[in-house]
Amino acid sequence: MTPQVETHRRGKLRRAGQAVVLVALIVGLSYCDEDGTGPGDRLGRRPLDPELVAQGREIFRYDTFGDEAYWTDTARMHEVIEGAVSPALALQVGLKVDADALPQEVKEALAAGQVDLGNPATTVALLKLNAVVGLKGTVEARDGEDRLVRVGITCALCHSTVDNSFAPGIGKRLDGWPNGDLDVGVIVALSPAIPPPLRGLWQHPPYFHDGSAETLEDVVAHYDRVLKLNLSTLGEADLVEYLKTL
Ligand code: HEC
């Protein structure tokens, strides 16, 4: 970035800062209306507690509520990301990068085109920096190499975007804005543990990834047992018939 741009940016930032102070002042003043209650009270709510708001923002942005149990243990998304999701692909499917999470030297390298956006290892590096909006990764060094060992998603994945101020898909977080670019279907389809399509099923026995069910009757009996469906013999037969029509 040239010094002029840097100065210009700083000027812009300063003006933005002044605007924030101004808004805060106006909001502050409007709290001191005749009866001394703020707008929150007039709406039948207490004024917002800044501490709770800050905690809530952390949760919204970074808390996965333990959904790694699905995205890692079931969908094995960490393997997919590590093996095949370059930053270029990630941006293409609508994931966003939080520029504020990037150290200055990474920003400079990005701006200079020195970062390999075609390499999934770069995605792992971004996750290690907690810079991918809504995607929370746990990165651990194994044999001297950074490995993505767990991944989960947060509210921000679908409910935040960025202002593209650094580059398309890379900028400051905008929480609460829908990420209209996110292709959830494609992201989910990248997972190896997604159920296979059931169309034309009758044509290709045996079934299940390990071929453990010879016939559709075996498939249904398996689900009946595992999911405790308590299907009668008739019910099983009906289900088999239906599966044949798909
Ligand atoms: C995988 C994407 C995704 C994630 C992650 C996600 N949401 Fe949503 N959220 C949606 C979609 C899609 C809708 C709209 C659903 C509908 O209208 O039926 C929605 C609706 C909502 C709404 C209702 C909005 C309205 O105007 O009715 C709220 C509030 C909300 N989400 C909050 C959250 C919170 C809080 C989290 C994190 C705990 C979260 N969401 C995580 C996709 C997501």
DSSP 114-143: -S-TT-HHHHHHHHHTT-BTTEEEEEEEET
* Nearest partner of 123 among 167, 181, 82, judged by Cα: 82
Q: What pLDDT is attached to residue 20?
A: 43
Residue among 70, 155, 186 whose CB has most ligand 1 atoms within 8 A, to mutate:
155
The answer to whether residues 160 and 181 touch, using CB atoms and an 8 Å cutoff, is no
Could you state, in order of their start, the residue ranges of all structural domains in the chain? 1-38, 60-189, 201-245
Q: What pTM did the predictor assign?
A: 0.68
DSSP state of 200: T
Closest ligand 1 atom to residue 155 Cα is 37
* Nearest partner of 138 among 64, 84, 88, judged by Cα: 64
pLDDT along the chain (246 residues), means of 10: 48 48 40 40 66 89 90 91 93 95 96 95 97 97 95 91 96 92 78 68 85 90 76 78 84
Residue among 159, 161, 177, 191 whose CB has most ligand 1 atoms within 8 A, to mutate:
159
Q: What pLDDT is attached to residue 184?
A: 75
The answer to whether residues 158 and 73 touch, using CB atoms and an 8 Å cutoff, is no
User: How far does the centroid of ligand 1 lie from the alpha carbon of residue 136, in Å?
Assistant: 18
Q: What pLDDT is attached to residue 245?
A: 81
Q: What pLDDT is attached to residue 243?
A: 83
